[in-house]
Structure 1
């Protein structure tokens, strides 16, 4: 199913207001009857949720719900929203606000000066807020070879590593699929991202491994996580196909994936990034936490 509610659309409309998500197309709703009461978490996985997939819900309301469900983070938010999270005892496990967007990234040298200036300004703000992950993107290929794009990304990002290292903020480049949601995006395979990380050679550059996107592009999720976990700072979830709930309507078995993540000794966050189609999105969120809390 083609998903029109992509993060690309949200990024394009950040200045114009929140995106509106609908539930016009409903999937079956197994296990949706659970009450929205706090979950007794096992502690092996630190849970987060991405705000953009709940953009029809005011942040204050989502904060209260997240806190009640035992989450400790709402992510993909910028500086204007961090005080609201702090008020509710929440953090932002993956900050944003320095990027130009998904398509115009570090693989294009003509954007380097602007991107470096934006990230140089944002990194200290992230650190001052007590946060330690800031998202970044490769950009689209636009006819460029992957090898040249990798060299360009490394050149631009290396300029930021002294500031990132000084403030102990990790720049996390997201792995996205270029097959369905983000046509032509360059950082679309784990191996490419890992080779870029090796070129940059800093603990303050890592990958945001999006399970949904990488299932579409390469599969082999658990083995990939086990092999490349030292290069991964953060994980995102969603159901395949469709990017909806991670329940039994989709093909991935998230309990096994979460156990693999926990077994690597991962101490970061797993962010729920599914687009709910249930009549009760918070019940879907609760279910996803239960599924992932191994």
Structure 2
């Protein structure tokens, strides 16, 4: 049985502070690692200094996404007409991940474009991931794939854990693995312990939030005690990202984590 390790997602937690102040707030709350989707508004050197000054490790960043409301707002990997922009984004993501010492780059799949068949978008997604895996070779960075639920992200290219696992197996599990977000998985698939155990050998990173409101564990419908025990007993030794919207303040809502790591 392993000891569970949780990192703070600085897009979602400590939002009562400006972004750069969230590093210190996370360290003061007892976190030793962080993740966040988009580092690109800051220089890698500045972010690395914030990590080092606060004794924090960077776990992952995402590939760049388009602005809210745009066709690329959920990523570019499945969009046939955006291959050049996608490749530029992957290279930029790898540059940041390497500079920050992050072991993972989440390649965000994207929404199937209007007028494009799901099969064509999916084929482009797999080809784009294979290209990204080649670019990541020798960097020490592994790529992550995440299925998202159809309620929050209708039209997202990856809809199930099985689909994501098949892509990882096809591209090469030595370079590509799963980011399994229990929030997304619960909404669309449920049966979380069985789902996790089915794919756990491919799972490189986990994320947590409690449906239906995406608050911290213990505020919604998931039975976290049994789920965390199953994860620990499986031998999982990766990080678990706290990607939730605190119900009443970040620090006030961390009691669940103290219980999970006791």
TM-score w.r.t. the length of structure 2 is 0.86
Q: 1:161 to 1:60 in 2, by over 3 A?
A: closer
Q: CA deviation at 1:136?
A: 1.6
Matched, 1:126 2:97: yes
Matched, 1:167 2:139: yes
Q: 1:99 to 1:134 in 2, by over 3 A?
A: farther
Q: CA deviation at 1:145?
A: 4.5
Aligned to 2:3: 44
Unpaired stretches in structure 2, ≥5 consecutive residues: 67-71
Q: CA deviation at 1:256?
A: 1.6
Aligned to 1:266: 236
Aligned to 1:87: 53
Structure 1 SS opposite 2:6: strand
Provide the C-alpha distance between the structure 2 equivalents of 1:292 and 1:149, rounded to a whole number of angstroms. Answer: 39
Matched, 1:290 2:262: no
Aligned to 1:67: 27
Is the Cα contact below 8 Å between 2:27 and 2:56 reproduced in 1? yes
Provide the C-alpha distance between the structure 2 equivalents of 1:57 and 1:215, rounded to a whole number of angstroms. Answer: 30
Provide the C-alpha distance between the structure 1 equivalents of 2:158 and 2:54, rounded to a whole number of angstroms. Answer: 34
1:236 pairs with one of 200, 207, 230 = 207
Q: CA deviation at 1:102?
A: 4.4
Provide the C-alpha distance between the structure 2 equivalents of 1:115 and 1:132, rounded to a whole number of angstroms. Answer: 20
Structure 1 SS opposite 2:144: strand
Unpaired stretches in structure 1, ≥5 consecutive residues: 1-41
Is the Cα contact below 8 Å between 1:168 and 1:204 reproduced in 2? no
Alignment RMSD: 2.2
Provide the C-alpha distance between the structure 2 equivalents of 1:260 and 1:209, rounded to a whole number of angstroms. Answer: 14
TM-score w.r.t. the length of structure 1 is 0.77
Q: How many pairs are equivalent?
A: 249
Q: 1:99 to 1:220 in 2, by over 3 A?
A: same
Q: CA deviation at 1:171?
A: 1.5
Q: CA deviation at 1:202?
A: 4.0
Provide the C-alpha distance between the structure 2 equivalents of 1:45 and 1:146, rounded to a whole number of angstroms. Answer: 37
Runs (4+) of structure 1 exceeding 6 A deviation are none
1:110 pairs with one of 81, 104, 109 = 81
2:130 pairs with one of 155, 158, 161 = 158
Q: CA deviation at 1:189?
A: 0.9
Is the Cα contact below 8 Å between 1:109 and 1:156 reproduced in 2? no
Q: CA deviation at 1:131?
A: 1.4
Provide the C-alpha distance between the structure 2 equivalents of 1:174 and 1:107, rounded to a whole number of angstroms. Answer: 13
